[in-house]
Amino acid sequence: MAVGAWGSCNVAKENVTASFDDIVFREDGCNINYLSLPGGPHPVVNLGYTAVHEAGHWFGLQHVFSTFACDDVGDTIDDTPATSEPTTGCPIRKDSCQDMPGLDPIHNFMDYSDDAW
């Protein structure tokens, strides 16, 4: 996990292994910074939503802003409104893709909104 990151997960991969003698390791798992867990000291990421976000990656979900363009596939879920950028804070009525239907999905766990919502 990168220094300063709240968490990271590998996208689960089938049959990706490395071996050392008779031990087989799978390229699979999550690392969550304990400071982002419920009760942690950070005021905007201490409700555990980082763990939910990272587990979403482990289950194969992408960010809602995957290519930073309004016409991209986002998280590949058809009913997620288009968004062209990650969210910081909790900006109500954010609309980064004004020519597309729907407001930015700031409450979607696969965005970067603060835990504050």
Question: E-strand spans in the chain?
Answer: 7-9, 17-20, 23-26, 30-32
Dump pLDDT digits (tens) for 63-104: 898 788 898 878 888 888 999 999 988 898 999 999 999 999
Confidence check: pLDDT of 49 > 80: yes
Distance CA(32)–CA(70), nearest Å, equals: 30
Distances (CA, A) of 16 to 32, 73, 103, 114: 22, 26, 38, 33
Q: List active site positions.
A: 54
Collect all residues with Cβ–Cβ distance below 8 Å to 15 and sequence separation of at least 6.
Answer: none
List the domain boundaries for the chain: 7-48, 61-117
For the entire predicted model, the pTM comes to 0.77
Half-sphere exposure of 21 (CA within 13 A, CB side): 0
